[in-house]
Amino acid sequence: MAGFDDLASERSKAQFDVEEMKVIWAGSRHTLEVSDRISRLVANDPVFRKDTRTMLSRKDLFKNTLRKAAHAWKRIIELRLSEEEAAELRFYVDEPAFMDLHWGMFIPTIKGQGTEEQQQKWLPLAYKMKIIGCYAQTELGHGSNVQGLETTATFDPQTDEFIIHSPTLTSSKWWPGGLGKVSTHAVVYGRLIIDSKDYGVNGFIVQLRSLDDHLPLPGITIGDIGMKFGSGAYNTMDNGVLRFDHVRIPRDQMLMRVSQVTREGKLVQSNVPWQLVYGTMVYVRQKIVSDASCALSRAVCIATRYSAVRRQFGLQSNGIETQVIDYKTQQSRLFPLLASAYAFRFVGEWLKWLYMDVNQRLQASDFSTLPEAHACTAGLKSLTTSATADGIEECRKLCGGHGYLCSSGLPELFAVYIPACTYEGDNIVLLLQVARFLIKTVSQLGSGKEPVGTTVYMGRVEQLMQCHCAVQKGFLELSADLVQAAVAHCQLIVVSKFIEKLQQDIPGKGVKGQLEALCNIYALFILHKHLGDFLSTGCITPKQASLANAQLRSLYSQVRPNAIALVDAFNYTDHYLSSVLGRYDGNVYPKLYEEAWKDPLNDSVVPDGYQEYIQPILKQQLRNARL
Q: What is the DSSP string of 497-537?
A: HHHHHHTS---STTHHHHHHHHHHHHHHHHHHHTHHHHHHT
In the shown chain, the binding pattern of residues 343 to 372 toward ligand LHBTZVTM, with x for contact by CB under 6 A and - for none, equals ---------------------------xx-
153-192 residues near ligand LHBTZVTM, rule: CB under 6 A? 177
- Contact 190/166 with Cβ under 8 angstroms? no
Residue type, 600: P
CA dist 524 to 164, 297, 492, 508, Å? Answer: 53, 20, 12, 25
Binding residues with ligand LHBTZVTM: total (CB under 6 A): 30
* CA-derived radius of gyration, the chain: 27
β-partners of residue 204 are: 188, 254
Distance CA 539, CA 403 (A): 39
Q: Minimum distance from CB of 40 to ligand FAD (Å)?
A: 29
Given the residues 139, 150, 424, 462, select the one marked as catalytic: 424
Cβ at position 409, least distance to ligand FAD in Å: 20
Q: Which residues of 279-305 are buried (b: 16+ CB within 10 A; e: fewer)?
A: bbbbbbbbbbbbbbbbbbbbbbbbbbb
Q: How far is the CB of 274 from ligand LHBTZVTM (least distance, A)?
A: 8
Q: Which is nearer to ligand FAD, 420 or 521 (CB)?
A: 420
CA 165 to chain centroid: 32
Amino acid at 19: E
* Dist CA 193 CA 196 (whole Å): 6
Binders in 251-280 for ligand LHBTZVTM, by CB under 6 A: 275, 278
| Interface map 208-247 toward ligand LHBTZVTM (x if CB under 6 A) | ----------------------------------------
- Which of 424, 462, 533, 568: binder of ligand LHBTZVTM (CB under 6 A)? 424
Which among ligand FAD, ligand LHBTZVTM, none contacts residue 104 (Cβ within 5 to 8 A by kind)?
ligand LHBTZVTM
Residue 487 touches ligand LHBTZVTM, criterion: CB under 6 A = no
Helices (H), 560-583: 563-568, 574-577
Q: Which residues pair with 269 in a beta bridge?
A: 259
Q: Which residues touch 418 (CB under 8 Å, ≥6 apart)?
A: 229, 389, 392
Residues 6+ apart with CB under 8 A from 562: 13, 14, 15, 16, 514
Q: Of these, 6, 88, 100, 462, which contacts ligand LHBTZVTM (CB under 6 A)?
A: 100
Measured in degrees and rounded to the nearest 5, phi and psi for residue 577 equal -65, -35
433 binds, options ligand LHBTZVTM, ligand FAD, none, Cβ within 5 to 8 A by partner type: ligand LHBTZVTM
The site that binds ligand FAD (CB under 6 A) totals a number of residues, namely 20
237 Cβ neighbours under 8 A, 6+ residues apart? 65, 96, 97, 98, 100, 177, 178
Residue 239's binding partner out of ligand LHBTZVTM, ligand FAD, none, with CB under 5 to 8 Å set by partner kind: ligand FAD
* Residue whose C-alpha is closest to residue 515's, from 384, 387, 339: 339
Segment interacting with ligand FAD (CB under 6 A) among 17-25, 170-178, 362-370, 402-410: 170-178
Q: Using the rule CB under 6 A, is 147 a contact of ligand LHBTZVTM?
A: yes
CB 135 within 8 A of CB 208: no
Residue 444 touching ligand LHBTZVTM (CB under 6 A): no
The region of 41-49, 214-222, 245-253, 282-290 touching ligand LHBTZVTM under the rule CB under 6 A is 282-290
Nearest residue relative to ligand LHBTZVTM (C-beta): 104
> Cα separation of 495 and 486, whole Å?
14
Contact between residue 485 and residue 438 where contact means Cβ atoms under 8 Å apart: yes
Q: Is 477 a catalytic residue?
A: no
Residue 354 neighbours by CB distance under 10 Å: 18
556 binds, among ligand FAD, ligand LHBTZVTM, none (CB under 5 to 8 A by kind): none
Tell whether residue 422 is a contact of ligand FAD (CB under 6 A): yes
Contact between 260 and 267 under an 8 Å Cβ cutoff? The reply is yes
Residues 92-111 that bind ligand FAD (CB under 6 A): 101
Whole-angstrom distance, CA of residue 15 vs CA of residue 87: 34
CB 429, min distance to ligand LHBTZVTM, A = 5
CA atoms of 302 and 413, how far apart (whole Å)? 11
Among 252, 426, 481, 585, binds ligand FAD (CB under 6 A): 426
Nearer to ligand FAD, 39 or 433 (CB): 433
Residue pair 115/256 in contact (Cβ under 8 Å)? The answer is yes
C-beta of 424 vs 568, nearer to ligand LHBTZVTM: 424
Which residues partner with 193 through β-bridges? 154, 198
Q: Is 137 in the site for ligand FAD (CB under 6 A)?
A: yes
Q: Which stretch binds ligand FAD (CB under 6 A): 25-33, 215-223, 423-431, 498-506?
A: 423-431
By a kind-dependent CB cut-off of 5 to 8 A, residue 355 interacts, out of ligand FAD, ligand LHBTZVTM, none, with none
Among 175, 335, 437, 576, binds ligand FAD (CB under 6 A): 175
Interacting span for ligand FAD (CB under 6 A) from 138-146, 162-170, 388-396, 532-540: 138-146
Binding mask 104-133 toward ligand LHBTZVTM (x if CB under 6 A, else -) reads: xx----------------------------
In angstroms, the CA 286 to CA 323 distance is 38
User: 10 Å Cβ neighbour count for 14?
Assistant: 20
Binder of ligand LHBTZVTM out of 281, 334, 351, 548 (CB under 6 A): 281
Q: Smallest gap, in angstroms, from Cβ of residue 34 to ligand LHBTZVTM?
A: 16
- In the shown chain, the binding pattern of residues 323 to 342 toward ligand FAD, with x for contact by CB under 6 A and - for none, equals --------------------
Q: Could you give the CA distance from residue 324 to residue 306 in angstroms, rounded to a whole number?
A: 9
Q: Which of 114, 176, 279, 403 binds ligand FAD (CB under 6 A)?
A: 176
The answer for residues whose C-beta is within 8 angstroms of residue 82's C-beta and 6 or more apart is: none
Q: Is 144 in the site for ligand LHBTZVTM (CB under 6 A)?
A: yes
Residues annotated as catalytic are 424
Which spans of this chain sit near ligand FAD (rule: CB under 6 A)?
101, 135-138, 143-144, 175-177, 234, 239, 419, 422-423, 425-426, 428-429, 432
Which spans of this chain sit near ligand LHBTZVTM (rule: CB under 6 A)?
96, 100-101, 104-105, 135, 137-138, 144-147, 177, 275, 278, 281-282, 284, 287-288, 291, 370-371, 374, 423-425, 429, 433, 436
